[in-house]
Structure 1
Amino acid sequence: MNKQEFVNAIASESGLSKTDSEKALNATTEAIKNALAKGESVQLIGFGTFSISKRAARTGRNPQTGKEIQIAAKNVAKFKPGKALDEAVN
């Protein structure tokens, strides 16, 4: 499902117009992104939790040359599904 199909699904489920559904989706993703940028986690009970995990610096290898390279430390976004979502999928 791409973004436009997702907007259409939101519109049909909620009774909102497609324009309002897209605004709601954009606001939701922006709020999640801003919270994660601040280092906060976002818990949506029954759906899941978005959080940040720190990945340490490490040594990697260039597959073409075999030369060792340093990979910098960085933060990565993680998602852990909630119980209701897990049960719905399985």
Structure 2
Amino acid sequence: MFQKTLVQEISIRTNLSDTEIEPILNAFSAIIKTAILNREPVELPGLGTFHVHHLASLKELDPETGKLVMFPPKDTLEFTPAG
């Protein structure tokens, strides 16, 4: 769902105007982004939890060349749906 569609849906359900909703949605997004960058989990009740997962470096064989390829460690964003 795109932001414009989300704003319209929220507008319909809350009777707030699009111009009232957009700054709220932008602030919400900024808060989540800041928390994720700080490696803090973000729990949205009834929806789920976003959290940063660290993947260690990995060595694998390239099937085409047969050479060992090294993948550096990295962080990924994971989402666990509410149960």
Q: TM-score range by the shorter chain?
A: 0.7 to 0.9
- How many Å separate the matches in 2 of 1:6 and 1:71? 37
Alpha-carbon shift at residue 56 of structure 1 (Å): 0.9
Q: Judging changes above 3 Å, is the alpha-carbon distance between structure 1 residues 61 and 2 closer, same or farther for their aligned structure 2 residues? A: farther
Q: Judging changes above 3 Å, is the alpha-carbon distance between structure 1 residues 19 and 58 closer, same or farther for their aligned structure 2 residues? A: same
Supply the RMSD in Å over aligned alpha carbons.
1.9
Within-5 A mapping of 1:7-46: 7-46=7-46
Opposite residue 32 of structure 1, the aligned amino acid is I
Alpha-carbon shift at residue 69 of structure 1 (Å): 2.8
The structure carrying a bigger helix percent of its residues is 1
- How many Å separate the matches in 1 of 2:22 and 2:66? 46
Unaligned runs of 5+ in 1: 84-90
Percent identity, aligned pairs only?
A: 34
**Match of residue 76 from structure 2:** 76
Unaligned runs of 5+ in 2: none
After TM superposition, what 4+ stretches of structure 1 lie above 3 angstroms from structure 2?
60-68
* Structure whose alpha-carbon radius of gyration is higher: 2
Count the aligned residue pairs. Answer: 83
- CA deviation profile, 1:20-49 (whole Å, cap 9, x unmatched): 212111111111111011111111221111
How high is the TM-score relative to the length of structure 2? 0.81
How high is the TM-score relative to the length of structure 1? 0.76
